[in-house]
Amino acid sequence: MPTYLAFLRAINLGAKRVFPKDDIRRAVEAAGFEDVTTHLNTGNIRFGSRMRSRDRIERALEREFRSDRGFEVPAIVFEASEFAALAASARELSASRPGLSRHYVYLLKDELPAEVAARVEATSGPAGEMVVRDRAAHALLAPGYQHGTVDPLRAAKLLGVATSRNLNVVTGLAERWC
């Protein structure tokens, strides 16, 4: 049975969008998925499914989350092998730019059209560089960046449905789950 990873967007950010990991696990199982595991309380999930369509899997999860929580919870799903490749690419990008202050990976629901990817990459500047690869956009923040803003390069509005994780979470989950 294929293994998938799902990343939930915009949960546990305030008092109204609470979705604890035990409830997430229960909802994923209720949606018919197997061998469900969560990591942290930020919406990182690993599960097995006989379904082959990413779109169908995302719809099934989102339908169950809406039913369970009463609000929309976008799910961004990757096959384990796809996520492992994404993490390897992220490691390579980071290693080729020594001295980065931070590296955030925006996980994208859909691959960006070439013209949108070019607009995202054009947000690069002195604060850092945006690089788009497949279903990920990388915010490679320059030395001296001070943590404080969620979207330091102002590219997030161009990404469509996306959620971000830092490089350590992405590579750690790939090592643990893929």
Mean pLDDT of 133-138: 98
**How far apart, in whole angstroms, are the C-alpha atoms of residue 5 and residue 13?**
21
φ, ψ of residue 13 in degrees (nearest 5):
-105, -5
Token pair in block for residue 118: 């070019």
For 9-145, where are the E strands, in sequence order?
34-39, 44-48, 75-79, 102-108, 128-133, 136-141
Same CATH topology for 3-80 and 84-177? yes
**CATH number among 3.90.1580.10, 3.40.50.2300, 3.30.70.1280, 2.60.40.10, domain 3-80:** 3.30.70.1280
Please give the model's pTM, rounded to 2 decimal places. Answer: 0.94
Q: What's the topology of domain 84-177?
A: Alpha-Beta Plaits (3.30.70)
The per-residue pLDDT for 145 is 75
pLDDT at 111 exceeding the cut of 80: yes
Which pLDDT score, from 0 to 100, does residue 13 have? 66
Cβ neighbours around 22 below 10 Å, total: 10
Per-domain residue ranges of the chain: 3-80, 84-177
pLDDT at 167 over 90: yes
Percentage of the residues of the chain whose pLDDT score is greater than 90: 84
pLDDT at 148 over 70: no
Whether 170 shows a pLDDT value over 70: the answer reads yes
For 31-69, write each residue's pLDDT tens digit: 999 999 999 777 999 999 999 999 999 999 999 999 999
Mean pLDDT, rounded, for 106-126? 97
Q: How confident is the model at residue 9 (pLDDT cuts 50, 70, 90)?
A: very high
